[in-house]
Amino acid sequence: MGSVSYKDAGVDIDAGAQFVENIKPLVKSTFDSNVLGGIGSFAGAYELPGGYKKPVMLGATDGVGTKLKLAIESGKFDTVGIDLVAMCVNDLICNFGTPLFFLDYYATSKLDIEESTAVVSGIAEGCRQSECSLIGGETAEMPGMYAPKDFDLAGFAVGIAEKDEMNRLVHAKAGDRLIALPSSGIHSNGYSLVRKLFFEKLDYKFDTLVDGKPLIDILLEPTRIYVKTFKKLKHKINALAHITGGGIIENLPRVLPDNLQAVVYKDKIRTLPIFDLMALHVEETEMYRTFNMGVGMVLVVSSENVDYILENSDGYVIGELRAGKKEAVLV
């Protein structure tokens, strides 16, 4: 009986080593002066920045969901890494955390060096956009665990905040205005419904034109990252909510105290063409509880700061806070 190798079992150690070499310059492009050591150690190290009175570490983790299926099926791998970073860092800033570093977990049935390098290039781009460092990650080749050509992604972001700034509930008050920051598209939620609607019910193809663009380009448009906008405007923001799965209805109340109600005017929301198209086939209530509808982040702002926010961002007013039950109401 002949010998058997790890490669015979479906795991190529040499491919893994080549992959690490490929991504080294991508990873290094995200480093700042607080990153300690180089690539290849057992753990990433990051020196805490100074200037904080009561520093608190914040952590957030997320994935990309079934949007990955579209990336796999279309062979376009360079954007889902941006989504991965965005879904984590956009959560951090809602607790007034500044992202510091990021780690990823990439698991696949068989490592394709070109595809995996493209994925990590997206992760590195997301880190550059959010001004955080990619200090480590894990690549797992697991034949038999995943179907051929399948892979999964998970991300982990760590940030820092002043302890006294984290609780935003105490800052929201009746009369505050709600300012929407536009989304770049569907972002990374609701893709099981998206795929069923377009590719099963409507029988669309990847190259079907929607608003003058191939459908697949619209669906894989990466999630917008709001970190730089937050850093610029944080001193004028009372609270902010990342609009992900559950839409405005479920996410906005998370930043409200028990005695305030968020009133959102539907006719003020600048929906994107892709949502208008889906709304022809999906009930309105289902749309608003599944998708961001063109609103990626909602800022809660004192009335006297509204003009400043509007002048220094692409935001626009969609509602206000009133005394009442803790909930978001669409009118």
- 162: pLDDT confidence band, cut at 50, 70 and 90? very high
Q: Is 45:168 a contact under the CB 8 Å cutoff?
A: no
**Distance between start and end Cα atoms, the chain:** 74
Check residue 149 and give its pLDDT.
Answer: 87
How many Å apart are CA 43 and CA 252, to the nearest integer?
Answer: 36
Beta-bridged to residue 322, according to DSSP, are 261
57: which residues sit within 8 A by CB, 6+ positions away?
A: 158, 159, 160
The stretch 259-274 carries a mean pLDDT of 96
- 102: pLDDT confidence band, cut at 50, 70 and 90? very high
Check residue 18 and give its pLDDT.
Answer: 80
| Angle at the Cα of 289 from the Cα atoms of 61 and 168, rounded to 5 degrees | 55
Domains of the chain: residue spans and CATH: 13-165 (3.30.1330.10), 177-330 (3.90.650.10)
Q: Which of 66, 82, 311 is nearest to 184 (CA)?
A: 82
Residue 9 has pLDDT above 60, yes or no: no
Q: Please state the separation of Cα 230 from the chain's center in Å.
A: 14
Higher pLDDT, 195 or 9: 195
Instruction: For the chain, give the secondary structure using H, E and C.
Output: CCCCCCCCCCCCHHHHHHHHHHHHHHHHCCCCCCEECCCCCCCCEECCCCCCCCEEEEEEEEECCCHHHHHHHHCCCCCHHHHHHHHHHHHHHHHCCEEEEEEEEEEECCCCHHHHHHHHHHHHHHHHHHCCEEEEEEEEECECCECCCCEEEEEEEEEEEEHHHCCCCCCCCCCCEEEEEECCCCCCCCHHHHHHHHHHHCCCCCCCEECCEEHHHHHCCCCCCCHHHHHHHHHHCCEEEECCCCHHHHHHHHHCCCCEEEEECHHHCCCCHHHHHHCCCCCHHHHHHHCCCCEEEEEEECHHHHHHHHHCCCCEEEEEEEECCCEEEEC
Q: Tell whether pTM > 0.75.
A: yes
| Neighbouring C-beta atoms of residue 54, cutoff 10 Å | 10
- 5: pLDDT confidence band, cut at 50, 70 and 90? low
**60-79 pLDDT tens trace:** 999 999 999 999 999 999 99
**314-326 pLDDT tens trace:** 999 999 999 999 9
- 19: pLDDT confidence band, cut at 50, 70 and 90? confident
